Amino acid sequence: MATAPLYRPPTKITTIEIPWIAVVSRADPDWARFKHREIEYEFSRRNFYGDPYHRGAYSGVFDNPLNF
């Protein structure tokens, strides 16, 4: 005995899909640039910037424990 498919009435609500990166970029246009440009240290009123994704906790060196 086959069952009939469930009745799904048409809804008047339409949805759209917006990628999260578009929402973040619209709210903070400099987010992508500042994410890779972080103050590493300050010396004599000068700021020295570094990329935490190339150095530090997020670098590829820490991905493989055999690199130590």
Write down the pLDDT at residue 12.
79
Domain that residue 52 falls in: 20-67
Report pTM.
Answer: 0.41
User: Does residue 54 have a pLDDT over 60?
Assistant: yes
Asked if residue 53 belongs to a domain, the reply is yes
Any idea which of 34-43, 47-56, 59-68 has the lowest mean pLDDT?
A: 59-68
Concatenated DSSP letters of 11-42: PS-------HHHHHHHH-TTHHHHHT-EEEEE
Q: Is residue 29 in some structural domain?
A: yes
The answer to whether position 52 is within a domain reads: yes
Number of domains in the chain: 1
The DSSP code for 2 is: P
CA gap 29, 32 in Å, rounded: 7
Question: Which carries the bigger pLDDT value, residue 64 or residue 24?
Answer: 24
Per-residue pLDDT reduced to its tens digit, 4-47? 778 777 787 777 788 888 888 899 888 888 888 888 888 888 99
